[in-house]
Amino acid sequence: DWRVWEGDVRDFDWRDIEDDVDLLAGGPPCQPFSMGGKHRAHDDDRDMFPATFDVVRTLRPKAVLIENVKGLARASFADYFDYILLRLEFPELTLDEGESRVDHLTRLREVKATGDKRNLGLTYDVAATLVNAADYGVPQRRERVFFVGFRSDLEASWRFPAPTNSRDELLRAKWKTGEYWEEHRVPKKRRPEIPKRLRGKIERLADELPFPITRRWRTVRDAFVDLPDPRRPAAKRFLNHRWQPGAKSYPGHTGSPLDEPAKTLKAGDHGVPGGENMAALANGELRYFSVREAARLQTFPDGYAFVGSWTETMRQLGNAVPVALARVAAASIAESLAEAAFRKTAIAAEPELRSVP
């Protein structure tokens, strides 16, 4: 029963939404900032942050959640990164006619420096955080920037949740306790040796802790544990789990090792980036991920069906936010909104409570 608008958000009349919006969530196209893109930032006509600011100003949501690539946090984009933060903080301080973006940024910084948000209309308390999806149980190394803002009148308190998974725990499970290999029934004679570059670090890991601080990073093997090889007949039992031939290695594109989190799944302009979307199997073989395997790496449920060619569906997955990471971020925002509402209610009730004999 959801209302769905399939098209350019700039063509949608946001004034049609009269509800009180709790959360506006989005991922403005990242190509202007991607490490693999042309790095044109706000000079790129695919930059959809201006449209995002317009929607925030129109809907006045209680909270805003925006995800983008790590490249946006590069030093070369520092001014535009600051511009995004300030535009989200002061969405009604719009670009004046004839005003350059540089002058607008200067004006926004001057307003911010006063430290006074009174009489500025709609304002938000905004924080930006760089996170690695692998630190939250996603079997993929995927670093992304999250912008989260709460409407200032709510006086909400928020920070991105602490990581739940760690590389150290994966190293411990592999090379200290061996439980990782035992869990996957890998015989000792088939287990790889400790990489030389990691020996010192592994020696420094405590053999025992009173309790694990975090769970271990999840690996490609973890994600595929009950999936048959896509070449086998049993693969037909799974949606979108089909063999894709043609995988090969070339410099810089060597696939994702089976016993590490996958490399970042990407969506290329001209087809699928092979190195990031291949599995490097224990026997030295390389093969492309099936769509279902890529969906597992992005933590989509197995019942989620993808429509289109392998190239198109892999592009969809390369552009997606891992479901488990989205859940962590959204749940923390929902909790902060609930706490803020409770505090407001409690404060409003205080005079009545004080008057009770």
Enumerate the active-site residues.
Answer: 30
How do beta strands 124-132 and 23-26 pair? Answer: unpaired
DSSP 249-310: -BTTB--EETTSPBPPP--BTTB--TGGGEEE-TTS-EEEPPHHHHHHHTT--TT----S-H
Give the CA radius of gyration of the chain. Answer: 24
Whether 24 and 55 have beta carbons less than 8 Å apart is answered as yes
Widest distance between CA atoms in the chain: 81
Interior CA angle at 9 toward 5 and 12, to 5°?
A: 65
Partners of residue 209 on adjacent β-strands: none
110 C-beta neighbours (distance < 10 Å), count:
9
Judged by phi (left if over 0) then psi (alpha if -120 to 50, else beta), residue 234 lies in alpha
**C-alpha separations of 130 from 30, 76, 282 in Å:** 15, 16, 32
